[in-house]
Amino acid sequence: MSDITMIRAAAERLKGHARRTPLLSSPFLDEIAGRRVFVKAECLQHTGSFKYRGGRSALSALDPETRAKGVLAYSSGNHAQGVARAAAEYGVPAVIIMPADAPKLKIDNTRALGAEVVLYDRANGESREAVGEALETERSLTLVKPFDEPLVIAGQGTCGLEIAQQAREEGIESGDVLVCCGGGGFTSGVAMALEAEAPGFRVRPVEPEGFDDVTRSLESGQRESNARASGNICDAILTPSPGEITFPILQRLCGPGIAVSEEECLRAMGVAFQRLKLVAEPGGAAALAAALYHGHEIEGDTVICTISGGNVDATIFGRALATLEEGP
């Protein structure tokens, strides 16, 4: 099970590899939100996502002999690229199982990082786990899960250590920290880091409407599932249900979840580009969307949110920019 000791150990292993991403602000964002907004820019991390932290953390903890045989991962794109980049840095094979309907840019980028990509039919219910188990056994690969893996959670929790330090530097002692949430690896890692280093903050998971399994699970007290596996532009954070490992952490440490619409995510993408000069994908802009457009669900006069996923389809980015013409 991940804990603060594992997160601190991951931070040591990531030194000189993962970037310390900035905590940014803009008076224009504050005006829209009606409070101070700080943005943790994980879209500036390697491969455009916090997922590199988890991938590098997991690979760096493997013994060299095991790592040399290669690793396996399944992902719609960001975990894929994080693991592929980490594997390339170690010079070991990586096989990544991706849905056939994942964004083409993410599939191409994963291949460009040197990984072998195996596509599966998510839309028609094919199991990525079944595909992965066969390859794992056949090739003696080590599976690096996208969120329900202690070493991945620990690596992603290093972002929380940075948020705590950067908040202190800004003189911020409390507030809601909004985190884009899929299976809960990033959210639970950040929550554990803040519990230890900045206990005045409360982590809030943010998800797309219709795919708010974590929000509903926190309300019901048990792991809930989504009715669909795809069909939303926030592909990066669409997961069937919270993880077995992550959900107890989310239950213990997180406040209520927030669900945002596709339109709000597009508007947040446009604002991030216009005011912060950051490129994010829809799922990676979900937390910013909550900060800007769900103020009635947020407590306090200061909010910190993550933004991630710089690998965005040009058509979707064009839709995001079009929202700027409509005003905030």
Catalytic residues: 51, 308
Cβ-count burial 282-291 (b if 16+ within 10 Å, e if not): bbbbbbbbbb
Sequence-separated (6 or more) residues with CB below 8 Å from residue 203: 176, 177, 179, 187, 190, 191, 194, 253, 254, 255
Q: How far apart, in Å, do the first and last CA atoms of the chain sit?
A: 42
Angstrom CA distances, 112 to 18, 81, 136, 144, 279, stand at: 20, 9, 22, 19, 20
Q: Which two tokens stand for residue 284?
A: 């990676």
Phi and psi at 98, nearest 5°, equal -125, 145
Sequence-separated (6 or more) residues with CB below 8 Å from residue 54: 79, 82, 146, 149, 151, 152, 153, 154, 155, 156, 185, 186, 189
How many angstroms separate the CA atoms of 91 and 174, rounded?
A: 42
How many angstroms separate the CA atoms of 55 and 197, rounded?
A: 23
Q: Which two tokens stand for residue 109?
A: 């980028």
How many angstroms separate the CA atoms of 103 and 88, rounded?
A: 22
Q: For the residues of 172-193, what is the DSSP string, one character each?
A: ---EEEEEE-SSSHHHHHHHHH
